């Protein structure tokens, strides 16, 4: 647990550094102060993509190895991905309302595909809660986790494939479409929020191990009071 605390404290310092860069960098001439929100919106969405990528990798590894550590990694990363997608959507809506004059537009492929991705991963968490058997739960969620990642490149490249309110990528192989000071602030926030994701992931994995051990202990304890199965209840 101490390792988790040290990681979270370091992530906190990284986030504070990111905030300092976000609020001291120059602003866009047309967007004004609202351009600072992009220092949060883009890294949150990047971390959500990373989290769902980690889930897909862990899901495939579970399907190959069938060991519970991969299942724990998959669910831990989905939870974080959902949190970061929610905050990414929120920051994007505030920015959109200020700059485009509308917070949401279902006709925009990036927004619509992100919303679908968000609900699919909420469905992943709901699916896990609906299956009491750990083996079956791990199997079904691994299949969903491995398939659902297809949405990540769809969301990312939706601005290139379809007509979109969203601009195309600002950081490209041939250079960035913004001044160096703004790019530095954005990259610092990318690093800080990615580090925050890894720190929270280590904490979530620690919790998952603890909960699994606790569940196994309860299953072994003959005196533990467990509710009867519905099929065992004959007369109510």
Partner 1 sequence: MSDLAIVIGTFAISYAVVVGYAGYLHLRHRRAKG
Looking at the Cβ atoms of 61 and 80, the one nearer to partner 1 is 80
Looking at the Cβ atoms of 60 and 122, the one nearer to partner 1 is 122
Q: If binding is defined by CB under 8 A, does position 8 make contact with partner 1?
A: yes
Cα separation of 167 and 171, whole Å?
11
Look at residues 57, 76, 79 and name the one whose alpha carbon lies nearest to residue 206.
76
Q: If binding is defined by CB under 8 A, does position 55 make contact with partner 1?
A: no
219 burial type by CB count under 10 A (0-12 exposed, 13-18 middle, 19+ buried)? exposed
Q: Which of 32, 123, 153, 179 lies at the binding interface for partner 1 (CB under 8 A)? A: 32
Q: If binding is defined by CB under 8 A, does position 125 make contact with partner 1?
A: no
Which stretch in 30-38, 49-57, 152-160, 176-184 sits in contact with partner 1 by CB under 8 A? 30-38
Cα separation of 20 and 56, whole Å?
34
CB 176 within 8 A of CB 184: no
Which stretch in 140-148, 179-187, 210-218, 221-229 sits in contact with partner 1 by CB under 8 A? 210-218
What's the min distance (Å) between Cβ of 121 and partner 1?
14
Q: Is 5 helix (H, G, I), strand (E, B) or coil?
A: helix
CB 149 within 8 A of CB 55: yes
Q: How far apart are the first and last CA of the chain?
A: 46
Q: Which of 63, 68, 69, 86 lies at the binding interface for partner 1 (CB under 8 A)? A: 86
Q: If binding is defined by CB under 8 A, does position 211 make contact with partner 1?
A: yes
Angle at 209 between CA 69 and CA 76, to 5 degrees: 65
Q: If binding is defined by CB under 8 A, does position 19 make contact with partner 1?
A: yes
Q: Which of 87, 115, 190, 198 lies at the binding interface for partner 1 (CB under 8 A)? A: 87
Cα radius of gyration (the chain): 21
CB 42 within 8 A of CB 190: yes
Q: If binding is defined by CB under 8 A, does position 205 make contact with partner 1?
A: no
Q: Which of 14, 37, 182, 192 lies at the binding interface for partner 1 (CB under 8 A)? A: 37
Looking at the Cβ atoms of 50 and 146, the one nearer to partner 1 is 50
What's the min distance (Å) between Cβ of 206 and partner 1?
7
Cα separation of 48 and 45, whole Å?
5
Binding site for partner 1 (CB under 8 A): 1, 8, 15, 19, 22, 32-34, 36-37, 40, 44, 79-80, 83-84, 86-87, 90-91, 94-95, 98, 196, 200, 203-204, 206-207, 210-211, 214
């Amino acid at each position: 647990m101490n390792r988790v605390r040290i990681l979270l404290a370091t992530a906190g310092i990284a986030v504070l550094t990111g905030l300092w860069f976000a609020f001291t960098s120059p602003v866009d001439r047309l967007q004004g102060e609202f351009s600072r929100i992009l220092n949060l919106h883009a890294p949150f969405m990047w971390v959500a993509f990373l989290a769902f990528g980690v889930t897909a990798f862990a899901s495939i590894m579970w399907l190959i190895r069938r060991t519970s550590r991969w299942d724990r990694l998959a669910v831990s990363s989905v939870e974080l991905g959902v949190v970061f997608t929610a905050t990414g959507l929120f920051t994007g809506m505030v920015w959109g309302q200020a700059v485009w004059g509308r917070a949401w537009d279902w006709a925009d492929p990036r927004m619509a595909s992100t919303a679908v991705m968000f609900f699919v991963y909420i469905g992943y968490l709901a699916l896990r809660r609906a299956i009491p058997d750990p083996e079956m739960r791990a199997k079904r969620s691994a299949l969903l986790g491995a398939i659902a990642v297809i949405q990540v490149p769809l969301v990312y490249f939706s601005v290139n494939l379809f007509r979109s309110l969203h601009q195309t990528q600002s950081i490209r192989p041939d250079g960035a479409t913004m001044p160096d000071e703004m790019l530095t602030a954005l990259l610092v926030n990318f690093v800080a929020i990615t580090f925050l994701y890894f720190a929270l992931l280590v904490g979530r994995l620690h919790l998952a191990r603890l909960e699994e051990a606790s569940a196994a202990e309860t299953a072994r304890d003959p005196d533990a009071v467990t509710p009867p199965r519905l099929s065992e209840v004959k007369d109510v």
